[in-house]
Structure 1
Amino acid sequence: MFKVNDLTKVYPGGRGIQGLNLTVHAGEVVALLGPNGAGKTTAMQAMAGWLGTDRGEACWNGASVAERPELTRPYMGLMIGEPSPYLYLTGYDYLRCYHKLYPGVDEARIRQTLELVGMTKHRDLKIKKYSTGMKQRLELASVLLHRPKLLLLDEPFSGMDIEGRREIALMLRGLVADTGMSVIVSSHQVHDIEDWITHACIVYEGRHIHTAGIVQVRESFAGVEDYYLHHLAQERSGGV
């Protein structure tokens, strides 16, 4: 179980994230929704232990991610921010860099993961020749190599075409169903994730304003997008 309790990181000028609370069980997929600048990336960086927080914490099975990384990081796959693979390497060689970082990641696992993200035919191409979408796929492969129990994915479909977004969404959905993996994902393309999320969490201007299960959302709204727009409009009007 991944639990986020009152997670708060505020920058000068008020940017950041305040009072984020989440509980994510095995097999659950939480969509982190909000406008640009709402605090989604900061929230993920803080959940990953990349940022010191003003208060609150994120814990994996009771262990603090920030204070006990040796007990938490092996179970997490983190894809946060712009992909930044080494451009002079091939895709295959880039993944081989992770050989010694994760026990159990062998040549067979590298090949399997490249196939999983649809990059087998591009494995021997220099990364500098990759499109943005191909770099996203490779970065996703790098965080899946060690078979994590929890994924934090910040805009994983950025730069992908419609077909690519659909293909990767279906792959992730299958992984969740087959392995019980948990996922926290942010995306501007709500339609890409609507079919496989179990919960939606809305942040606005650095504040956590609402979280609901997908069953509850569909009882009251036509879809996740309507749920999101409703609560955003309510917040902007002062809750009236």
Structure 2
Amino acid sequence: MIVPSLSSQNLERAIVRNLLIVSPATLLPNVAALMKPKPCRQYCCTMKGSDSSKNSSLKTSSIASPVEVSCVLVMANSQLKGIFTEQDLVKLMSQKKSLEGISVAEVMTQQLLTLRVGELKNVFTILNLLLQHSIRHVPILDDVGKLLGIVTPTSLLQVLNSIEADGVVEQLQNEIAQLKAEKAELLLNCTKLEQQLQQVVAEHEKVKTELQLERKSRKTIIDGRPVTLAVKAKGCTASRRADYGCQ
């Protein structure tokens, strides 16, 4: 089983930086129109190192891909004032109240639970925090208190899935590298064994040749000894016959 590496850098990937930013005076019908699940090209802004003062109005940068928007952040003078979510909108609509003439400042949640980016240490702690407070959006601030984005259960789970997938790929790559190393080692051992076998065969052939020469030499000596003794026996004296075996 692969255990995802949940570093602070990985958790920062869970920050949703494409946000809906509205001013406190924005009317609810306009807010509701922004929160419809459709590509938001006019009102989504990317909180990524940009000037917060430029993000406090509705004039924001466009994006190229659809973004699922489930909340709007209310800002004034570069300060986060509140949040208004889809759940808040559904609750108001279920009461069958008219949204006309109501500003988002009147119904937004002002007591916000926020986290500093340096506090993104443990994904399960953040998930438990969301469950404990029954919320689905946590604004993330930088070290000086400027808004960076939001974290949601969905964004956290997406990061977990991504990290797990990365872990699977990394493990497979490690296994492939290990198999290649083992294959190279086996080939090297086979080469060494082949060289040793060739050396043993060569030594065996050498010893075999030497033994054949030695046997041939002994055979020559043995085969030639009676003739030599016989020749010598003709000239043997009585005193030396016993030494040479002459009859």
TM-score, reference length from structure 2? 0.22
Please say which structure displays the higher CA radius of gyration.
2
The structure with the largest strand share of the pair is: 1
TM-score, reference length from structure 1? 0.23
Structure with bigger RCO (C-alpha 8 Å, 6+ apart)? 1
The structure with the largest helix share of the pair is: 2
